[in-house]
């Protein structure tokens, strides 16, 4: 069954450093998403991406965050200057059509900011 | 802003019995609802969904019920199996409002053999 692949599975970074989380969505999917889950809290929407541009973003997705689809297969989330409160599980997801009917999630990257 | 709430953080059920997981929402604009299951160290996986034009949707051992007037949905698992032990999230979306899903906080289901 097709999968969304995320790398690395765990990343530790120092506060203030830039970090890039990588995702390979399912190949025929057109919509891409990032969500995050702070330990013990809800899964929260960050951003959706379609046709090489951001289609929606939440208030969490401020100027410190950016997304990119640098080639035909990868989808990345960059955090420019990490803060302690950015520590969370970050999930990438993709969908073939509009995601409101559900997406396929990756296994997540656990980001620890120290 | 808790638009989707799962008030029970955990539920323990005996194998073979019914598991009932509940979810409440406040946003009357939600018109599509989904349940996801999540095992440790994995991403959420889609389980079952329901449109607001229906009040029930069934898929094998899993049935979702929607009560729009009460803004409440529930997931029934019958019979429960130990492999069903996971965290269950309900999620909702709004028509013509993009692709965002709003998730509840999750309920940890433990099915005891």
Chain B residues bordering chain A (beta-carbon distance below 8 Å): 32, 34, 36, 41-46, 49, 89, 91, 93-95, 97-106
Q: Read off the pLDDT of each residue in B4-9 and give the average, rounded to a whole number.
A: 95
CA atoms lying within 13 Å on the CB side of residue A17: 13
**Cross-chain Cβ contact B99/A91 below 8 Å:** no
The two tokens of residue A56 are: 């929606």
Q: Which of residues 10-49 of A touch B (CB under 8 A)?
A: 31, 33, 41-45, 48
**Cross-chain Cβ contact A43/B34 below 8 Å:** no
Q: What is the pLDDT of residue B39?
A: 93
Q: What is the pLDDT of residue B110?
A: 98
The two tokens of residue B25 are: 């929402």
**Cross-chain Cβ contact A100/B104 below 8 Å:** no
Q: What is the pLDDT of residue A97?
A: 87
B83 in helix, strand or coil? helix
Return per-residue pLDDT of chain A as tens, 114 residues: 789 999 999 999 999 999 999 999 999 999 999 999 999 889 999 999 999 999 999 999 999 999 999 887 899 999 999 999 999 999 999 999 888 788 999 999 999 999
**Cross-chain Cβ contact B106/A105 below 8 Å:** no
Tell how strand A53-57 and strand B30-38 pair up: unpaired
Count H helices, E strands: chain B? 0, 11
Q: How far apart are CA B36 and CA A87, in angstroms?
A: 23
- Cα torsion at A20, A21, A26, A31 (round to 10°)? -70
């Amino acid at each position: 069954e097709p999968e969304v692949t995320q790398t690395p599975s765990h990343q530790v970074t120092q506060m203030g450093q830039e970090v890039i989380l990588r995702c390979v969505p399912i190949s025929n999917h057109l919509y891409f998403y990032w969500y995050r889950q702070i330990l013990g809290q809800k899964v929260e929407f960050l951003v959706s991406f379609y046709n090489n541009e951001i289609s929606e973003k939440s208030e969490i997705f401020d100027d410190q965050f950016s997304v990119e689809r640098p080639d035909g297969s990868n989808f990345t989330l960059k955090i420019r200057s990490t803060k302690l409160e950015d520590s969370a599980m970050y999930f990438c997801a993709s969908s073939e059509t509009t995601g409101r009917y559900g997406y396929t999630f990756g296994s997540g990257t656990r980001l620890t900011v120290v | 802003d808790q638009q989707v709430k799962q008030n029970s953080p955990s539920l323990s059920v005996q194998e073979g019995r019914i598991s009932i997981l509940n979810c409440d929402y406040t946003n009357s604009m939600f018109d599509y609802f989904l349940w996801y299951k999540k095992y440790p160290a994995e991403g959420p996986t889609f389980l079952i969904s329901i449109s607001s034009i229906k009040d029930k949707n069934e898929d094998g051992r899993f049935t979702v019920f929607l009560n729009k007037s009460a803004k409440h949905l529930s997931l029934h698992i019958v019979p429960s199996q130990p492999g069903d032990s996971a965290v269950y999230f309900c999620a909702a979306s709004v028509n013509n409002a993009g692709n965002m899903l709003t998730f509840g906080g999750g309920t940890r289901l433990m099915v005891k053999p």
